[in-house]
Amino acid sequence: MSMDRGLSREKIHLNLGKYTKHGHHFEIDVEPDMALSFKAGKGVDIRDVLKAQKIFANAKKGELASEAAMKQVFNTTDALQVASIILKDGEIQVTSEHREKLREEKRKKVMNLIHRYGVDPRTNAPHPLTRIENAFAEAKVKIDENKSADEQVKDIMKMLQVILPIKFEVKQLKLHIPSQYASKANGIVKQFSKVVKAEWAADGSFNACVEIPGGLEEEFLNKLNSATHGTVTSEIEQIR
C-alpha cells in the first residue's frame, strides 16, 4: 500500500489516524511520518507512531473513546492493538504544515529524477538543477503530495517541454578499466549505474556493459576518469 493513500484534505490542526465503524468514531494522535510508514508496512513500531497511547472519540476535545465501543468494534480494549487497526484500515489526516513538507519533498524528488534522466536534445548534456527549478516556476508546476514522484514526473515533463528543450534518456555504455584501477573503479560503477553484464579478464582488468541515466553520464565518466587517471575507455552501445 502506498504511503500517500488515505490522506484527508480537511483543514486540521492535529496529525490524526481516524476510523469509523458501527456508528462509532475513533482517533489517535500520531507522528505523521511514522504513521505513513506504518501504514505502508515499513516495520515501524506502533509505540513510535503514537504521541499518546490513548484512543479518542474526539482528539481535539480530548474525549476518550469508551471501552464498550472499542470492544464492540475491535474486540479488544488494548490501545496499541486498536491503534494498529486504525492506521491500517482507517485514514491519516495531516496538518497543512506537514502537507507542505510532503509537497516539498516530492518536488525535490521529481526535480532530481528529471535532472538524472533528462538531457538537452541539442547538446545531450543535462540541464542544471537551477534551470529545472526555474522551469518549474515558469510552468507553475503543482505537486500532488498524494502521488509518488514517479507517478507525477511524466506529466510534469510535458509541462516543462513547452519551456525547456528536454528529453528522457538512458544510455548503455561499454566500459574497460585497467587492472590497477579495477577494484576502486568498480565501486563507482555500482554506485552510478545498473550493471547489465560484467567480467573480470585474466589480466585483472574489468569489462562491463552498464546502463546509466542520460543526465549522469558526464559526472559518471568524470569520476571514473579521476579514479583511473584517465585510463578508462567507454563506448556508447545504445541510447533509448
CATH of the domain at 60: 3.30.1250.10
Q: What's 158's domain CATH number? A: 1.10.10.900
CA 233 to chain centre: 34
Inform me whether the pLDDT recorded for 207 exceeds 90: yes
Nearest to 3 by CA among 130, 123, 102, 120: 102
Q: Is residue 3 part of a domain?
A: no
CB 133: neighbour CB atoms within 10 A?
16
Determine the average pLDDT of the residues in 127-153. 94
Q: Same domain for 35 and 70?
A: yes
Query: What does the alpha-carbon distance between residue 186 and residue 206 come to, in Å, rounded to a whole number?
Result: 8
Number of folded domains that form the chain = 3
Computed from CA positions of residues 113, 147, 17, 83, in that sequence, does the dihedral angle turn out positive or negative?
Answer: negative
Range of the structural domain that residue 62 is part of: 13-93
How far apart, in Å, are the Cα atoms of 216 and each of 50, 172, 220? 41, 12, 6
Task: Check residue 12 and give its pLDDT.
Answer: 52
Q: Same domain for 100 and 89?
A: no
Per-residue model confidence as pLDDT tens digits over 9-28: 445 579 999 999 999 999 99
Q: Is residue 199 part of a domain?
A: yes
Q: What's 215's domain CATH number? A: 3.30.70.240
Q: Same domain for 65 and 36?
A: yes
Q: Is residue 7 part of a domain?
A: no
Task: Check residue 238 and give its pLDDT.
Answer: 87
Inform me whether the pLDDT recorded for 163 exceeds 50: yes
Confidence of residue 146 (pLDDT cuts 50, 70, 90): confident
Confidence of residue 143 (pLDDT cuts 50, 70, 90): very high
Q: Which residues pair with 175 in a beta bridge?
A: 208, 234
Q: Same domain for 113 and 164?
A: yes
Q: Same domain for 152 and 204?
A: no
Confidence of residue 2 (pLDDT cuts 50, 70, 90): very low
Q: What is the pTM of this model?
A: 0.69
